[in-house]
Amino acid sequence: MLPDKFSPSKKGTGLHLMNARRPRHGARQSLTVAQKAQQLLKVLPYMKNAMDLQIVYPHRDAEPSPQKSFRFIEATWMAVGNGERLTRLDLSIPLETFAQVTQGAPIFTQLEHLGITIHAAISFMGTASYKIAHFVNGKCSKVRSLSLTFAPLSSDTVLPFFVALHPLPNLSCLSLTVPISNFNDKITSFLKSHSHSLQTLHIALEGSPGKNDLPHPQATLAHPVFHISYPNLSSLTLGLVQWNHHDAALRSEVARFLTTYLGRHASTLKTLRIDGYVFTFAQFISFMDNLGGDDSILESLTVQLHFLSCEFLQYLADNLQKLKHLDVAFGFICDRTDVPFLDRNLNWREVRSSKSSSSSKRYTDPYSIFQRDMIVDTTSKDFFNKIHDQDYSYWSLVNLDFEYRGYDVCPYYDRARTYQSFQKALANALSGVERFNGMDRKTFLRERPFTDFNE
């Protein structure tokens, strides 16, 4: 691992080591890799006070000089000394080198957060993941926060890791990203053993890269891992996958699961985030009813919808009166909760995923681009006419983050004009909101992100 990036964070408390990438032909580079390496070796002895360490390490087949790489790792472990100051450690090290890379690591007595991305070469045996579990057991057992990401092509690593992993007595925050087909009883046992201590939980399902043959949601969502109750849970993130939203039966299956799972934690949940799945308004209210009402304590919500409507905002204002932060991504704005044309012809998994800002896929539908743009223009105007009469000033919402995705599939639509109208309509109706997309009200109303689209 020849270091391509190393930088102390603020006040010299962090150190980040990334594997080198060869510069593109013709690209300018201020320092050679060798020069960067020498700088790193000079800097490391002065990082005794480092509190944050990140190491990203390549597979052997991508590493031209593994022995040189180990020199940097050894120097890094020496720099953190006995590990008394380090509070955050993030590792992305393949199985085939994990034991050798971490053998010189100290016991981290003050470590609060440990993040591990588990990946392996396709030919490497997943059973070696027990070595990573032994590292956690022996050197990081006092962590309060644990983040585990199992790469989709390393699915064989999940079971042996959880077989070897011991309970963590101080654990209160867990993030778990697992291939959708690899939930097992050992994961269930680990979660059960920490069910009373967990206050923050993130469970994300990962589909296989390049494959659309997802297992039926009933089989996945009925797994015992989703039957566990967490009596002290205050923050929940669910990363789902976009099962075919055109299938009403599949939509109902997902809604039934969320109704039960979220209802189980309604009395403690203050933060809810659902990634990877785009809901209809009917789906949304079917599972949110258990979290709403006079007794609702939900303060933060992140969700993706096909349409943003006045009914959606009204529902939240009436049923989630303590909500302070809303983060919503949506395809279009409209004055009603269902537009058959748009619902039938747009699949938001293809437009833009939660991790991507663009898509190269194209749509085939019975409407021309101009017909589609006219429909979108009409639904937008209807939304403006309706929201003009709405007043949500009684609502406690103070922060609104949104992503308006529909522009990507309407290239000739007058986006700049409509977006400006949308900004003004939102700001007027939500008079209590202080920040929109991280901006104060005045800055938000001046934003012109689409002005160059019609030039």
The string of pLDDT tens digits covering residues 29-77 is 566 656 666 777 777 777 777 889 998 876 655 555 556 677 778 888 8
Lowest mean pLDDT among 142-156, 253-267, 296-310: 142-156
pLDDT of residue 114: 98
> How far is the C-alpha of 422 from the C-alpha of 419, rounded, in Å?
5
Question: What average pLDDT score do residues 224-249 get?
Answer: 87
Question: What average pLDDT score do residues 373-395 get?
Answer: 82
pLDDT of residue 353: 39
Quote the tokens at residue 332: 């279009």
Quote the tokens at residue 83: 């590990």
> How far is the C-alpha of 49 from the C-alpha of 19, rounded, in Å?
23
More confident residue, 124 or 330: 330
Residues contacting 228, CB < 8 A, separation 6+: 188, 191, 192, 195
pLDDT in tens, 100-125: 889 999 999 999 999 999 887 665 66
Write down the CATH number for the domain with range 48-330.
Answer: 3.80.10.10
Quote the tokens at residue 70: 């180990």
∠ CA 361-421-358 to the nearest 5 degrees?
Answer: 15
> How far is the C-alpha of 391 from the C-alpha of 53, rounded, in Å?
48
> How far is the C-alpha of 339 from the C-alpha of 393, rounded, in Å?
28
Question: What average pLDDT score do residues 261-270 get?
Answer: 96
Strands 88-92 and 113-118: parallel
Lowest mean pLDDT among 10-14, 31-35, 79-83, 249-253: 10-14
For the chain, the three-class secondary structure string (H helix, E strand, C coil) is CCEEECCCCHHHCEEEEEECCCCCCCCCCCCCHHHHHHHHHHHHHHCCCCCEEEEECCCHHHCCCHHHHHHHHHHHHHHCCCCCCCCEEEEECCHHHHHHHHCCCCCCCCCCEEEEEECCCCCCCHHHHHHHHHHHHHHCCCCCEEEEEECHHHHHHHHHHHHHCCCCCCCCEEEEEEECCCCCHHHHHHHHHCCCCCCEEEEEEECCCCCCCCCCHHHHHCCHHHCCCCCCCCEEEEECCCCCCCCHHHHHHHHHHHHHHHHCCCCCCCEEEEEEEEECHHHHHHHHHHHCCCCCCCCEEEEEEEEEEHHHHHHHHHHCCCCCEEEEEEEEEECCCCCHHHHHHCCHHHHCCCCCCCCCCCCCCCCCHHHHHHHHHHHHHHHHHHHCCCCCCCCCCCEEEEEECHHHHCCCCCHHHHHHHHHHHHHHHCCCCCEECCEEHHHHHHCCCCCCCCC
Query: What's the pLDDT band for 20 if we cut at 50, 70, 90?
Result: very low
pLDDT in tens, 151-198: 766 667 888 899 999 999 999 999 999 988 778 899 999 999 999 999
Quote the tokens at residue 283: 């789906």
For CA atoms 397, 400, 406, 410, the dihedral sign is positive
Average pLDDT of the chain, as a whole number: 79
Residue 347, pLDDT > 90, answer no
> How far is the C-alpha of 155 from the C-alpha of 178, rounded, in Å?
8
Tally of CB atoms within 10 A around 149? 17
pLDDT in tens, 85-97: 899 999 998 888 8
